[in-house]
């Protein structure tokens, strides 16, 4: 029997890497949702899915209201669809370590986490919340949300790089490690957390100065 897997944010950095790996599994039917889709598409896909990777979101929108639109409301829409159709589909959410910070992005991620936590408490559905640090690796956009991609891009093109504080320490995870962990969740190969919060097993620490070197 085919497992139908929905990936929201499928055209993003993490989503693109995850989808490429899921397509290698002949027992998975992949459902992809991004900004080219509409609400009716979302309803149809959520109704079909046996597992949901909820990766969609924004972290540098032009309008601050988009934090709520894409990070909070979309999460609420998914839960509402599940509730309406009496489904308890497992959900993996990519949150951020900034969920603990007092900024618009962090607040929106915490709100998304809370929506899923309440859904779990109401239904007992399995949820997996990953508060990711900086993610680096193939297909990451420079000059957007990855200092690693930005440094690589600028150095390769002979452009200057900016270092605000060379002693500032970064926490980073490699995209292939992230995808490996996410697929383990799908295959039920991770220990269930009482708090529903999870970490990528391998995290790298490096200062901005050493990264530049």
Q: Indicate which residues carry an active-site annotation.
A: 105
Within a 10 A sphere around the Cβ of 148, how many other Cβ atoms? 19
Residue written as token pair 């490699």: 174
Query: Under DSSP, is residue 112 helix (H, G, I), strand (E, B) or coil?
Result: helix
User: What is d(CA 173, CA 122) in angstroms, rounded to the nearest whole number?
Assistant: 32
Q: State how far Cα 4 lies from the chain centre.
A: 19
Helix, strand or coil, per DSSP, at residue 130: strand
Which stretch of DSSP H or E encloses residue 16?
Answer: helix 13-22
Rounded distance between C-alpha atoms, residue 157 and residue 143, angstroms? 13
In whole angstroms, how large is the CA radius of gyration of the chain? 18
Q: Is 212 helix (H, G, I), strand (E, B) or coil?
A: helix
For tokens 């190969």, what's the residue?
Answer: 189
């Amino acid at each position: 029997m085919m497992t139908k897997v929905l990936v929201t944010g499928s055209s993003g950095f993490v989503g693109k890497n995850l989808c490429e790996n899921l397509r290698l599994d002949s027992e998975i039917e992949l459902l992809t949702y991004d900004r080219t889709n509409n609400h009716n598409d979302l309803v149809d896909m959520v109704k079909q899915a046996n597992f949901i990777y909820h990766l969609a979101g924004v972290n540098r929108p032009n309008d601050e209201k988009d934090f709520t639109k894409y990070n909070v409301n979309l999460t609420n829409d998914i839960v509402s669809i599940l509730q309406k159709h009496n489904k308890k589909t497992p959900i993996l959410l990519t949150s951020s370590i900034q969920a603990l910070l007092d900024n618009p992005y962090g607040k929106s991620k915490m709100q998304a986490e809370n929506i899923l936590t309440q859904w779990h408490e109401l239904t007992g559905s399995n949820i997996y919340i990953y508060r990711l640090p900086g993610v680096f690796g193939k297909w990451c956009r420079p000059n957007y949300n990855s200092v690693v991609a930005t440094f690589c891009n600028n150095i390769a093109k002979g452009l200057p790089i900016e270092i605000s504080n060379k002693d500032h320490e970064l926490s980073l995870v490699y995209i292939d490690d992230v995808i490996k962990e996410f697929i383990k969740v799908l295959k039920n190969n991770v220990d269930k957390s009482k708090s529903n919060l999870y970490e990528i097993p391998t995290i790298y620490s490096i200062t901005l100065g050493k990264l530049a070197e």
